[in-house]
Amino acid sequence: MRPDRYNARESEPHWQRVWDERKIFESSNDDARPKYYVLEMFPYPSGRIHMGHVRNYAMGDVVARYMRARGYNVLHPMGWDAFGMPAENAAMQSGSHPATWTYANIDTMRRQLKSMGLSLDWSREIATCDPSYYKHQQRIFLDFLKAGLVDRKTARVNWDPVDQTVLANEQVIDGRGWRSGALVEQRDLTQWFFKITTFAEDLLQGLDTLDQWPEKVRLMQRNWIGRSEGLRMRFAVASDPRVPAASDIEVFTTRPDTIFGASFLGLAVDHPIIRSLAEKNSDLEKFCDECRRMGTSAAVLETTEKQGFDTGLKVAHPFDDSILLPVYATNFVLMDYGTGAIFGCPAHDQRDLDFANKYGLSKTPVVCPSDVDPASVVIGDDAFDGDGVMINSRFLDGMSIADAMDEVARRLESRELFGRPQGRRQVNFRLRDWGVSRQRYWGCPIPVVHCEKCDVVPVPAVELPVILPQDVDFKTPGNPLDRHPTWKHTTCPTCGGPARRETDTMDTFVDSSWYFARFTDPWNTEEPTDPAVISKWLPVDQYIGGIEHAILHLLYSRFFTRGLRATGHADLDEPFKGLFTQGMVVHETYRSGDGSWLAPTEIRIDSTADGRKAFALTDGSEIEIGSIEKMSKSKRNTVDPDEIIGTFGADAARWFMLSDSPPEGDVIWSEEGVQGVARFMQRVWRLIGDLKSVAAPVGSMAPVHFGETAITVRKATHNALAKVEDDIVRLRFNRCIAHANELVNKLGQTIGSIESAEIGDDLAYACREAAEGLVMLVAPMMPHLAETCWSDLGHEDLVSQARWPEADRSLIREDVITLPIQINGKKRADVVLPRDADETTIRTTVLADDSVQKAIDGRPVKRVVIVRERIVNVVI
RNA sequence: GCGGACGUGGCGAAACUGGUAGACGCAAGGGACUUAAAAUCCCUCGGGCAACCCCCGUGCGGGUUCGAUCCCCGCCGUCCGCACCA
């Protein structure tokens, strides 16, 4: 007995069990079919999934299911980015051990993901906090160390003196620790670094090959790497009692051509010379401290005035030592870029001009725009950074900028200052090495020991993993590993003497920099990866995740890929061939009169002709409907996936997430919208029932001849299939859904008008084809409903394993087409013509048409533009 | 400040990157069925006009073109990213 209504709450768990039992989503490394690796960014196990996860994983699942139907051996794994601070925060607040907390969250979220009906290979599940995972990460660390890709050096960190911990930049709010509220100190600590700069050039060049990445992300990475070509040049310091004889200051410049426009040297407040001067000059020290306090956030810098402190030092101009330039400590030169020193050329750099205007420094123009008389060049409030010809520059006069740059570089390279060449061409990168040391417990231990005799000694590979101790307490501030009574005490692998374990753990970005590789062979207990298996599966064909990872995660993964290749773990250029960044899930906000936020479950919406209004469920008072914002706990505009799935089913949630907006844009979650999806699902269920009642049996042969109605049905089916084929691979899910809607509308109309006497073999076949086509077409997006319909249509097998019914595009091609006719560019008529009509026929037919004649109204026709199979434009 | 993206009905959006602007969905209005409601089905739904096969309409102003949401120039507005990068 076929129920009138489809019951998602019964069907969904049923099919999930069937898929699970038959292990149909597990992929084999030995499968000979062409591979397709689809991956969504794995989640942090924060507690429960949110609607953003639902959207992200729904998208990936559509691709996985579709590619499977197209005959690919699909790898679609899932795991957990399981190390990180929230687990330690929870430990401090509730006393639960980070591992307990994390694994409990994983269990909850796994259950939630399973209730979504995702076609995931759970046999490959990994959690980065598991020793079976981080063992291999430690091994990679050691191999990178051996390959010279790891460095240990001093770096400045934000130090919270109360919590006794290093803070990330985003944990410093107004100069204070986010948790303790203590004033944050800058400390120099010896830290571990991955030498990502080794690959700076390659990481930049590799971007050109990533043509299936969003241009926006490539641009962001390009800017982050920040390659620039320029010249390092040294200025001799004029003799001064405060500095040693034969001192020099080295600057980096991308505009050596403007050297005759130089009017000062600007040094970072952390520049060694400034630091040493500040030791004996309290005014300078005060200035430096103030600059440091201002921070480096864009918002601050935007509004900050250029400031300087004249040190009294002078340097000689390299081409005329009678010209002495003042040396300033400045707030706009950064120590960690270039050499921490610049020469300022006010005429051709806006910042330098602002600075010069403030301190009354000269501003000689040295580049003249080609259409301006050199004598009339004046520098006002705007620096000129365009192209032109050199002026006021002695031996450079008349040269182009490029030639002048080259000439200056050439002269300084071949000349010595204090026994070394005065200039050196250099390619400079903004990219800095990746500091991975974290003074925390819940992370991957860095596998080295410190021995008094042998210094830093790697833990031998056979002794891995270095496992985190279980018995730690979070009651006192600081790193639990560091104050653990026994854990850090060990013996030196080299000399056997007493040694101390490294108590820093790795940045959690390390964990996610190679998980995509581990998924290919997660059972491998000996090696992180098997290069042969890597070559089989990687690169990831389609990677899907949030734009917030556009720079760091993706760049680190690209670095790791290069490191893994250098250490023989993977023969691979780039990890992610296709990248897609999906938009957020947003929702209306609701705010009561007293300013407090209300959750969507606490209000009722009334829609009438004069608009939508919200009322509180508790007392019926009217609630203001606020702006649409990213779902967040603070604004209380979240919806819980469990509740949605419980009420409407996973299929409805998935479908709605994909339906309304382009996938890269934000989607507005609305109750009305998901109700619309629920209606659509019932419509599909009824339509399949209607089609089934007239459809031929499973596997019927196609009849030779098709009548008019059958052809209409077939055209609708194949048209929809063709459009979905085109759109699904481009991830245009919203359009796929529109095509599905159109097909349902069309089939519903046609079926409704069929007289039972009309049904012959041809229509029966067409209805079977239509029903199965529709089910296949919605299956990647609403797999449970599709399975139920598939089974209802008499299939023993699963739609999840069925082959895609490729669209027959010859059926869609019409022999007779309706051509829109424009008169002077405005549509005035339609003319029905054979598709292959020649231009003369088209012309005569069009001009003979009544509506066309009426529109022409006797005026002479100047021209008839015919675009075949598209449009005709009559010009009068 | 620099860089990037975008601007189409009441709303989310389509439009094969130069060819019928508004597919599809949401909301709304009208009707059928029903004792009633829900569900379902049918119709209307950018603006103007009594009405159309008419006129206007893709942020604003120009331009190129037989033809512009799409290309070019100049404004206005919104969103995102950032690093005062020498």
How many CA within 13 A on the CB side of residue A522? 21
Strands A77-80, A121-127: pairing is parallel
Output the pLDDT for position A831: 85
Whole-prediction pTM value? 0.92
Assign A822 a pLDDT band (cuts: 50, 70, 90).
confident
**Which residues of chain A (569-628) touch nucleic strand B at CB < 7 A?**
607-609, 612
The DSSP output letter for A385 is -
The answer to whether the CB of A189 falls within 8 A of the CB of A197 is no
- Residue A34 CB in 7 A reach of strand B: no
The answer to whether the CB of A714 falls within 8 A of the CB of A695 is no
Nucleotides of chain B touched by protein CB (<7 A): 1, 3-5, 11-16, 19-21, 23-29, 39-42, 53-56, 66-68, 80-86
Beta bridge partners of A501: A449
The nucleotide lying nearest A222 (C-alpha to C1') is: B3
The answer to whether the CB of A516 falls within 8 A of the CB of A39 is yes
- Residue A213 CB in 7 A reach of strand B: no
Sequence-distant (6+) residues with CB within 8 A of A525 are A132
Is pLDDT of A676 > 80?
yes
pLDDT digit string (tens) for A70-123?
999 999 999 999 999 889 888 888 888 999 999 999 999 999 999 999 999 999
Nearest residue to B18 via alpha carbon and C1': A867
Assign A299 a pLDDT band (cuts: 50, 70, 90).
very low
Is pLDDT of A757 > 90?
no
Distance CA A38, CA A62 (A): 10
Output the pLDDT for position A306: 82
- Residue A421 CB in 7 A reach of strand B: no
The nucleotide lying nearest A818 (C-alpha to C1') is: B20
- Residue A330 CB in 7 A reach of strand B: no
pLDDT digit string (tens) for A707-721?
888 999 999 999 999
Q: Which two tokens stand for residue A804?
A: 């895609």
Is pLDDT of A495 > 70?
yes
The answer to whether the CB of A466 falls within 8 A of the CB of A270 is no
Output the pLDDT for position A341: 93
How far are the Cα atoms of A186, A692, A708, A754, A760 from residue A757, in angstroms, in the given order? 87, 16, 14, 8, 8
Assign A298 a pLDDT band (cuts: 50, 70, 90).
very low
What's the rounded mean pLDDT across residues A125-151? 96
The nucleotide lying nearest A355 (C-alpha to C1') is: B84
Is pLDDT of A303 > 60?
no
Assign A300 a pLDDT band (cuts: 50, 70, 90).
low
Taking alpha carbons only, the member of A501, A455, A497 closest to residue A481 is: A501
Is pLDDT of A301 > 60?
no
The answer to whether the CB of A776 falls within 8 A of the CB of A793 is no
**Which residues of chain A (47-106) touch nucleic strand B at CB < 7 A?**
none
Taking alpha carbons only, the member of A862, A861, A859, A677 closest to residue A782 is: A677
Output the pLDDT for position A631: 87
* Long-range residue pairs from A785-788, CB within 8 A, at least 24 positions apart, any chain: A785/A6, A785/A8, A785/A11, A785/A651, A785/A681, A785/A684, A785/A685, A787/A11, A787/A15, A787/A18, A788/A6, A788/A11, A788/A15, A788/A685
What's the rounded mean pLDDT across residues A1-21? 93
Sequence-distant (6+) residues with CB within 8 A of A11 are A649, A784, A785, A787, A788
DSSP H helices in A567-707: 641-648, 650-659, 671-694
- Find the Å distance, CA of residue A210 to C1' of nucleotide B26: 38
**Which residues of chain A (105-144) touch nucleic strand B at CB < 7 A?**
none
- Find the Å distance, CA of residue A672 to C1' of nucleotide B50: 38
Output the pLDDT for position A547: 86
Residue A324, Cα to own-chain centre: how many angstroms?
50
Is pLDDT of A296 > 60?
no
Distance CA A538, CA A532 (A): 10
What's the rounded mean pLDDT across residues A312-339? 91
What are the strands of the beta sheet with A35-40, ordered from one edge? A73-75, A35-40, A542-546, A579-582
What is the ipTM score, two decimals?
0.93
pLDDT digit string (tens) for A342-372?
999 998 888 888 888 889 898 889 988 877 7
The answer to whether the CB of A716 falls within 8 A of the CB of A744 is no
What's the rounded mean pLDDT across residues A551-576? 94
The DSSP output letter for A3 is -
**Which residues of chain A (454-513) touch nucleic strand B at CB < 7 A?**
none
The nucleotide lying nearest A258 (C-alpha to C1') is: B86
More reliable by pLDDT, A207 or A177? A207
Q: Which residues of A263-339 form beta strands (DSSP E)?
A: 264-268, 308-317, 320-330
- Residue A661 CB in 7 A reach of strand B: yes
Q: Which two tokens stand for residue A167?
A: 């803070």
pLDDT digit string (tens) for A532-557?
999 999 999 999 998 888 888 999 99
Output the pLDDT for position A297: 46
What's the rounded mean pLDDT across residues A390-409? 92
- Find the Å distance, CA of residue A313 to C1' of nucleotide B28: 76
**Which residues of chain A (232-251) touch nucleic strand B at CB < 7 A?**
251
Helix A272-279 / helix A282-293 crossing angle, nearest 10 deg? 130
Beta bridge partners of A821: A829, A872
- Find the Å distance, CA of residue A477 to C1' of nucleotide B76: 54
Distance CA A121, CA A95 (A): 34
- Residue A664 CB in 7 A reach of strand B: no
- Find the Å distance, CA of residue A27 to C1' of nucleotide B8: 45
**Which residues of chain A (255-274) touch nucleic strand B at CB < 7 A?**
255, 268
* Long-range residue pairs from A725-728, CB within 8 A, at least 24 positions apart, any chain: A725/A804, A725/A806, A725/A807, A728/A62, A728/A63, A728/A66, A728/A780
- Residue A635 CB in 7 A reach of strand B: no
**Which residues of chain A (285-314) touch nucleic strand B at CB < 7 A?**
296, 298, 301-302, 304, 306
Taking alpha carbons only, the member of A684, A655, A679, A676 closest to residue A667 is: A655
Query: From the CB of residue A649, how many other CB atoms can be counted at a distance below 10 Å?
Result: 27
The nucleotide lying nearest A429 (C-alpha to C1') is: B85
Is pLDDT of A818 > 90?
no
Is pLDDT of A1 > 80?
no
Strands A35-40, A542-546: pairing is parallel
3-state secondary structure at position A232:
strand
Output the pLDDT for position A801: 96
Start-to-end CA distance of chain A, whole Å, equals: 66
What's the rounded mean pLDDT across residues A750-755? 79
Mean pLDDT value across chain A: 90
The answer to whether the CB of A55 falls within 8 A of the CB of A657 is yes
- Find the Å distance, CA of residue A704 to C1' of nucleotide B78: 58
What's the rounded mean pLDDT across residues A36-49? 95
What's the rounded mean pLDDT across residues A45-50? 93
Assign A433 a pLDDT band (cuts: 50, 70, 90).
confident
Is pLDDT of A326 > 70?
yes
Taking alpha carbons only, the member of A434, A507, A515, A443 closest to residue A41 is: A515
The single-letter code of the amino acid at A774 is: L
The nucleotide lying nearest A606 (C-alpha to C1') is: B27
Residues in chain A: 876
Helix A733-752 / helix A708-728 crossing angle, nearest 10 deg? 170
